[in-house]
Structure 1
Amino acid sequence: MVTILESIKDKLVSPAESVTLSGLGMHIPKDDSPRTDFNWVDFYHNLSLSGLQSCSFFQNEIGTFNSAGIPLITINQALMQSYNQYNNYGRQNLRP
């Protein structure tokens, strides 16, 4: 999935959106962690996990969410933070 998203990125993401996302700072594994640069491969990976929150793999490796999308149980803080930040940034900065 990552390879496919990488190959079609320029058809789905405008140059302005690309610049905006590339300039965002990530804070992983916690909100107060030092800033790291947005990484497109990590974005594609986390985007490809969307919709898998009910799968046992996701729940056993990353954690679970309540009906409002708030983490209930976090198994791996770094993976949960990465998943949440990349998907939230994508929703906020990409056209529908």
Structure 2
Amino acid sequence: MAEKNPGDLEMARDFLRRASAQLDLDPALISELTPHLLGLTKRVAHGVVRPAAPLAAFLVGYAAAQAGSGQAGALSTPDAIAQALVAIAGIDDVVEEADGQA
């Protein structure tokens, strides 16, 4: 197993800050959801199959965008954050079902 580089998390945070700025996203929102999304992608990668992990994260973002009705800045509303967390929990249920079938 490869050793984890202690600087990886800081490099990831820096990347997310720059990507958020490029996409005109609220960095506080990204920071708040990052641990939840990392946990989700880990559970999907290990409980279902690795290629499904980034796609599950996309689905959560898509669900949050729909909750915001596509309005500019709507993804930073408490309702959209709550919707993203609900979507994460829903995908966790699907992971458990898939893991139980394996």
Instruction: Tell me if TM exceeds 0.5.
Output: no
**Which structure is higher in strand share?**
1
RCO higher in 1 or 2 (8 Å CA, sep ≥ 6)?
1
| Structure with the greater alpha carbon radius of gyration | 2
**Which structure is higher in helix share?**
2
TM range (shorter): 0.3 to 0.5
